[in-house]
Structure 1
Amino acid sequence: MSGCKEEDPRIQGIRTRIRVVPNFPKPGIMFQDITTLLLDPNAFKNAVDLFVERYKKENISVVAGVEARGFIFGPPIALAIGAKFVPLRKPGKLPGEVISEEYVLEYGKDCLQMHIGAVEPGERALVVDDLIATGGTLCAAMKLLERVGAEVIECACVIELPELKGRERLEGKPLFTLLESL
């Protein structure tokens, strides 16, 4: 699903709190900055509430948040729906044994890691991040979860950059976003 119910008045409030920063982190990128959304407690709560309303009856046992901004939205969603939160981190950030998945970004390469044993086979998982661009990060997150036997129910992001066609890379896996890029 591309976008939440546009008629929901909370969406416009969320949209007005997102700042666009031109040429960050490199020339030509129009960075969608959610840190300004976080400065408005009502808008931030509304964003979390919209996700919670969607997932509270889906029997999700794992909310996997992608470093770093998935760590902002993932934990409150997990708490509200009664799921555990599993951080998916950059290399060298998690102690103990991990599994890794490399992926391509719109402006480079990266890797995600997850603790071995954090997710059990058969668990129902939701992947959360602030934004989907080319889809590489979400694909890596799904692969990590699926490698350990989890069922990825959906990916959830605040913002989608449709011009970068990240949704197409998800190979049919459902994606729910609150809004498209500004």
Structure 2
Amino acid sequence: MLDDFELKQKVTLYQDFPKKGYHMRDLSGLLDDPKALQLITDTFVHRYLDAQLTRIVALKGRGTMFAAVLAYRLNLPLVVIRDLGEEPGEVLYERAPSAAGERTLEMRVGAVQSEDQVLLFDDILSSGATLLAAASLIRRQGAQIYEVATLIDLPDQGGSERLQEIDVSTYALMAFAQDQA
């Protein structure tokens, strides 16, 4: 895990956002600094360059921007898992219950194939609820998950352990303890 002080300094913590009791880690500072974006991308590229990946699957949101750059650099197709009602055509859907509220994800049927080796990408690994739902959508179509990659892991939230329980390994560039700004 890359725990680079300079990268961590570019992640801003907003307490009680979007509502009281929750905290948001804003990644805008990482996108605002071309050197930070280059370091992030190069680190992921180095990790996955020789992996036998066939596609990257990203959850819609802030991580999609980073996943798109990575897909470009690795010359891989990018699939985006979206929220319910956003994907046209025939879809599979999966509920992702969490303390922050329930979210339903959907993925187009045929977006991944049984022979695919997928890198599942998201911005932050917290409770793991959405990544567990995404993993289910991928596996229901017969594809294999090589690994879950995130920019940030919040290990106090237990998401990494939940993913390991279903035999999905994780990799994060940075980790923040619950009380760490």
Q: Structure 1: which 4+ aligned runs deviate by more than 2 Å?
A: none
Shift of 1:86: 0.2
Alignment check: 8 A CA contact 1:56 1:80 kept? no
Residue 27 (str. 1) matches residue 20 (str. 2): yes
Alignment partner of 1:79 out of 66, 69, 72: 72
Alignment partner of 1:63 out of 42, 56, 61: 56
> What CA distance in whole angstroms lies between the structure 1 residues aligned with 2:87 and 2:38?
28
> What CA distance in whole angstroms lies between the structure 2 residues aligned with 1:117 and 1:173?
21
Q: Deviations over 1:77-126 (max 9, x none)?
A: 11111211000000111111111111112311001111111111120000
Root-mean-square deviation over aligned CA pairs: 1.2
Provide structure 1 residue ranges, at least 5 long, that are not aligned to the other structure. none
> What CA distance in whole angstroms lies between the structure 2 residues aligned with 1:167 and 1:83?
25
Kindly indicate whether structure 1 or structure 2 has the higher relative contact order, using CA contacts under 8 Å at least 6 residues apart: 1
Residue 96 (str. 1) matches residue 96 (str. 2): no
Q: Secondary structure at the match of 1:146?
A: helix
Alignment partner of 1:173 out of 146, 149, 168: 168
Q: Deviations over 1:12-37 (max 9, x none)?
A: 22111110001111112221111221
- Correspondences of 1:9-158 after superposition (within 5 Å): 11-158=4-151
Q: Which amino acid aligns with 1:30?
A: H
Alignment check: 8 A CA contact 1:90 1:113 kept? yes
> What CA distance in whole angstroms lies between the structure 1 residues aligned with 2:19 and 2:173?
25
- Correspondences of 1:2-13 after superposition (within 5 Å): 4-6=1-3, 11-13=4-6
Provide structure 2 residue ranges, at least 5 long, that are not aligned to the other structure. none
Q: Secondary structure at the match of 2:130?
A: helix
Q: Which amino acid aligns with 2:117?
A: R
Q: Deviations over 1:154-182 (max 9, x none)?
A: 00011111111111111131100011124
* Identity %, equivalent residues: 32
> What CA distance in whole angstroms lies between the structure 2 residues aligned with 1:28 and 1:150?
37
Alignment check: 8 A CA contact 2:2 2:174 kept? no
> What CA distance in whole angstroms lies between the structure 2 residues aligned with 1:90 and 1:5?
30
Q: Which amino acid aligns with 2:51?
A: E
TM-score by length of 1: 0.92
Alignment check: 8 A CA contact 1:106 1:133 kept? no
> What CA distance in whole angstroms lies between the structure 2 residues aligned with 1:114 and 1:70?
17
